[in-house]
């Protein structure tokens, strides 16, 4: 048996034996959907690094440039579909109560969960008949809703008041005056994401940490495990005696603590865990 096949067998056994499951995901889980990660060559946009654009300072200095970048990302991500990795995690969420904790801002975990609920095979047990295509994120049961640690690229919030809302229409970043403005107070809107140097919502982070703490298995998929505090969430599972299974083509700082490290692409490996 090859190393990978052996690892898959061991990971399947851990998954079958576990009662409380979480998954912590990063940009790599969406790579096979065509969403670029930040680290690769494709992470650059017009020769800017994401670390130079995804910051409050960059937005203060040049909101037009930052919105232009987000407009490009929204367009690119808007054309992407969930891949078999998102779908496998959505299945585990529906059938085994797995909670998805993601660093991604692309909405693809939620899209996979909605797609699964709307599929002809229907929702979870006891949900009754559903009309195909009738469901949206609001219909997802709480337990199947991913925790988005870093927010969503398809949500905006006001830089001055409490206004926040979903928003998917194209952004006109041709001038400072065409940028989206708050319908309540007229101030500039910004993407509702957590930028480098900003704090995560303490409620979301607290829920993620307590889910990881209570889990006996944490799947860590497609994250370089260097962006804090998200990178520490799997450590809560380890500290409480649970185990970590990592899925990533490359080694990360977490690999040596993982019970099993599956070296390969998420969209190829995850479906094998539930076949
Ligand atoms: P990262 O770019 O630092 O790391 C991506 C990881 O995915 C790497 O370790 C890489 O080896 C791995 N990977 C690449 N292809 C893979 C595949 N097919 N299957 C499995 N793994 C694969 O991403 P990060 O750890 O999420 O941290 C970057 C930050 O940037 C996060 O905070 C995130 O919010 C943000 N980000 C989000 C998106 C998105 O929403 N899709 C995209 C880029 C960056
Ligand atoms: Zn406002």
3-state secondary structure the chain: CCHHHHHHHHHHHHHHHCCCEEEEECHHHHHHHCCCCCCCHHHCECCECHHHHCCHHHHHHCHHHHHHHHHHHHHHHHCCCCCHHHHHHHHHHHHHCCEEEECCCCCHHHHHHHHHHHCCCCCCCCCCCCCCCCCCHHHCCHHHCCEECCEEEEEEEECCCCCEEECCCCCCCCCHHHCCECCCCCCEEEEEECCCCCCCCHHHHHHHHHHHHHCCEEEEECCCCCCCCHHHHHHHHHHCCCEEEEECCCCCCCHHHCCEEECCCHHHHHHHHHC
The proportion of the chain whose per-residue pLDDT surpasses 70, expressed as a percent, equals 93
Ligand nearest to the CA of 41: 1
Q: How confident is the model at residue 125 (pLDDT cuts 50, 70, 90)?
A: very low
* pLDDT of 244: 98
Q: How confident is the model at residue 59 (pLDDT cuts 50, 70, 90)?
A: very high
**Is the pLDDT reported for residue 61 higher than 60?**
yes
Q: How confident is the model at residue 2 (pLDDT cuts 50, 70, 90)?
A: confident
* pLDDT of 209: 97
* pLDDT of 71: 95
Please compute the mean of the pLDDT values over residues 218-247 and round it to a whole number: 95
Q: Tell me which range, 40-49, 121-130, 238-247, is most confidently predicted by mean pLDDT.
A: 238-247
**Is the pLDDT reported for residue 131 higher than 50?**
no
* pLDDT of 37: 85
Closest CA to 195 of 77, 72, 68, 66: 66
**Is the pLDDT reported for residue 134 higher than 50?**
no
Please compute the mean of the pLDDT values over residues 84-90 and round it to a whole number: 98
Residue of 48, 150, 155, 184 with catalytic role: 150
Tokens of 266: 């998420």
**Is the pLDDT reported for residue 272 higher than 80?**
yes
* pLDDT of 228: 87
CA of 148 to the centre of ligand 1 (A): 14
Residues 6+ apart with CB under 8 A from 167: 154, 155, 156, 180, 189
Q: How confident is the model at residue 143 (pLDDT cuts 50, 70, 90)?
A: confident
Greater pLDDT, 113 or 140: 113
* pLDDT of 35: 93
Q: Of 33-37, 62-66, 91-95, 257-261, which gets the smallest average pLDDT? A: 33-37
With a 6 A CB cut-off, is 254 part of the ligand 1 pocket?
A: no
With a 6 A CB cut-off, is 222 part of the ligand 1 pocket?
A: yes
CA of 31 to the centre of ligand 1 (A): 7
Residue 46 near residue 242 (C-beta atoms within 8 A): no
Cα(236)–Cα(228) distance, integer angstroms: 13
Nearest CA to ligand 1 atom 41: 27
Ligand nearest to the CA of 246: 1
Cα(212)–Cα(216) distance, integer angstroms: 8
Distances (CA, A) of 127 to 55, 145, 211: 43, 16, 25
Closest CA to 70 of 148, 142, 172: 172
Residues 6+ apart with CB under 8 A from 139: 114, 117
């Amino acid at each position: 048996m090859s190393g990978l096949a052996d690892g898959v067998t061991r990971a399947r056994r851990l998954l079958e034996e576990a009662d409380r499951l979480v998954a912590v995901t990063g940009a790599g889980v969406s790579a096979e959907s065509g969403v670029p990660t930040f680290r690769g060559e494709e992470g650059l946009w017009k020769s800017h690094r994401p670390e130079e654009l995804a910051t409050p300072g960059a937005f203060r200095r040049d909101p037009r440039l930052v919105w232009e970048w987000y407009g490009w990302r929204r367009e690119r991500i808007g054309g992407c579909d969930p891949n078999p990795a998102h779908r496998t995690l959505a299945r585990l969420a529906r059938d085994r109560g797995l909670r998805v904790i993601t660093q991604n801002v692309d909405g693809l975990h939620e899209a996979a969960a909605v797609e699964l609920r709307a599929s002809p095979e229907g929702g979870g047990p006891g949900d009754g008949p559903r009309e195909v295509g009738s469901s949206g994120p609001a219909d997802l049961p709480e337990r199947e809703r991913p925790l988005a640690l870093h927010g969503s690229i398809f949500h905006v919030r006001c830089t001055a008041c409490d206004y926040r809302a979903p928003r998917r229409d194209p952004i006109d970043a041709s001038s400072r005056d065409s940028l989206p403005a708050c319908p309540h107070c007229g101030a500039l809107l910004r993407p509702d994401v957590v930028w480098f140097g900003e704090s995560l919502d303490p409620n979301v982070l607290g829920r993620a940490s307590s889910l990881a703490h209570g889990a006996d298995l944490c799947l860590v998929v497609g994250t370089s495990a260097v962006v804090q505090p998200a990178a520490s969430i799997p450590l809560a599972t380890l500290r409480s005696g649970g185990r970590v299974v990592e899925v990533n083509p490359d080694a990360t700082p977490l690999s040596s603590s993982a019970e099993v490290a599956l070296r390969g692409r998420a969209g190829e490996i995850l479906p094998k865990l539930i076949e």
